Structure 1
Amino acid sequence: MDHLDALEAQSVYILREAFNKFDRLGMLWSLGKDSNVMVWLARKAFLGHVPFPLMFCDTGKKFPEMYEFQKKYAAEWGVKLLVRECPPIEEIDPTLPPATRSAARKTEALKRLIAEQDMQAVIAGIRRDEEATRAKERVFSPRGENAEWDFRDQPPEFWDQFKTDFAPGTHIRIHPILHWTELDIWRYIQREKIPLVSLYYSKNGKRYRSLGDQDITFPIESEASTIEEIIAELEATTIAERSGRAMDHEAEDAFERLRTAGYM
């Protein structure tokens, strides 16, 4: 078993544990590379079928290529897709910095979707190496009644022993690729030939390393137009993955405030 096999096996184990434990379960599908790897892993875990709905919080500001990708692969993969429109910016905390406030629309949409579907748990495709606040996460992460996350009070997870029994009313976020790195993701995409939104590949000397809304996500300078070239680029870079996300350049505590309030 090589490194990617080991990563895959652990993620499949986590997904099966989640499905076994929670009756009302959903998976976030942001259409990004991590999210598509997560859906791919779910299809592997359950013999080609995703046995829970995929959830999409629509800001109305995604790139056209993302909406086209969603339409094509929702049909091709045969998934049940739940779409919830995000509330207007006027309903979001005005004390947040502009880009963070815009991103927080997804938090509110997700909370409402969870309440509408009465979901016990939601699977999300975050990774510890992606951002400092996410490095504090657990694989099975308890949330308050309104999806609040207390990063100072998280259950220990030693030797892949995950706590899955929580008090009634506790909402759970499950992170099956938390232990992966950005390079792991791309090497797995290469091995498995996982389809991606075309914006990840260079066009006219620029490509997107991380995808979000059009108005708060920016491309990087890059000539990498194939997976092999992207992997070589990442092996040499010292620039942070989310450098093209506007909210990551705002107030130091902005992202932590988002995560504490229930952001993906």
Structure 2
Amino acid sequence: MTTATDILTAHEYGNPYVLSHLDALESEAVHIFREVAGEFERPVILFSGGKDSIVMLHLALKAFWPAPVPFSLLHVDTGHNFPEVLAYRDRTVAEHGLRLHVAKVQDFIDDGRLRERPDGLRNPLQTVPLLDGIESNRFDAVFGGGRRDEEKARAKERVFSLRDEFGAWDPRRQRPELWSLYNGRHSPGEHVRVFPLSNWTELDVWQYIEREKIELPEIYYAHEREVFKRDGMWLTAGGWGGPKEGETVELRQVRYRTVGDMSCTGAVDSAAATVADVVTEVAASRLTERGATRADDKVSEAAMEDRKREGYF
């Protein structure tokens, strides 16, 4: 029986018929993109300007090059996003001539369809604008950058994740995917969430970014920033509701492992200023990026699964 070690050893010694683990992951993702393009009518890529969605778009560009990507992009803007990330998003869209749909949480608050939360968090408010964007644009397949190593609810996901007419996820309706055979059949009103990075780890993502020389927003690397501590995390001060009385703003050298919005995404103390530095740092970490830096996942043990059942990413 051929083991993973045998494969890596064969690749190391120049066997042209054996893929490295990054090549294998890339090949799987490209296959998924092409499968969706051939099976669905109106797919869309969720693109936030975070590292996973950036890698996902890079893979989509590879999958269809030299033709343009046959999908548009969808971003759910909480109104509390990092300016650096929004600037990167807009620059990328312009560079590749892509079509971007933006669903703004603020619009739903203004017209009364949503209410601000007492804790100031807006990430949990993304579900309604997301589902509205999917329904109004008649998207039948929605690419997301979720990975199974991020969080236990996401570990239950299939690559093709069926959502019902309300956008809800039911783990009991997930279909087997033996031999990488994907079943995209769905009834009118339903859609499928597709996760090309399901089998990637955070370290895989960073090693791929290093290999492919993919540009990221600068907040992923060590920089000085004014932050304050809340619930054990370094949060960025802003108009979203921080800091409160008794929370002291400090100037620290930090970076972000994951990017949501300013109200829920914590920075980590870091001196990792280059991709190679980040790869080394991530390899030594024993916490996933969501477990270490996302306040919205700390609400309860089942916080992510509860939101996914309501239609969240």
> In which range does the TM-score fall when normalised by the shorter chain?
over 0.9
Residues paired across the two proteins, number: 262
Structure 1 position 167, deviation (Å): 3.2
In structure 1, the residue matched to 2:25 is 7
Match of 2:197 in 1: 177
For 2:101, the aligned partner's letter is: L
| 1:1-264 to 2 correspondences below 5 Å | 1-48=19-66, 49-86=68-105, 87-88=108-109, 91-92=113-114, 98=119, 102-204=122-224, 205-242=253-290, 243-264=292-313
TM-score with structure 1 length normalisation?
0.94
The structure number with the bigger radius of gyration is: 2
> In structure 2, do the counterparts of structure 1 residues 102 and 16 end up closer, same or farther at CA, with 3 Å as the change threshold?
same
Distance 2:83 2:122 in 1: 19
Conservation of the 8 A alpha-carbon contact between 1:128 and 1:178: yes
Percent identity over the alignment? 42
Mapped to 2, the partners of 1:236 and 1:218 lie a distance apart of 19
- For the 8 Å contact 1:8–1:41, the answer to whether it is kept is yes
AA of the residue aligned to 1:62: N
Change (3 A) 1:253 1:92: farther
More RCO (CA 8 Å, sep 6+): 1
Q: Does the CA contact (< 8 Å) of 2:166 and 2:190 recur in 1?
A: no
Q: Which residue identity is paired with 1:72?
A: R
**Distance change >3 Å, CA 97–CA 127, structure 1 → 2:** farther
Unaligned runs of 5+ in 2: 1-18, 225-252
Q: TM-score, normalised by structure 2?
A: 0.80
| CA deviation string 1:27-63 (max 9, x = no partner) | 1001100000000000000115211100011111101
| Amino acid paired to 1:88 | I
Deviation string 1:166-198 (CA, Å, 9 cap, x unpaired) is 334321111111111101100100011111111
The Cα RMSD (Å) is 1.8
Alpha-carbon shift at residue 97 of structure 1 (Å): 8.9
The amino acid of 2:210's aligned partner reads Q
Runs of 4+ in 1 over 3 A off after TM superposition: 89-94, 96-99
The 8 Å contact of residues 88 and 105 in structure 1, kept in 2 or not, is answered as no
Gaps (5+ residues) in structure 1?
Answer: none
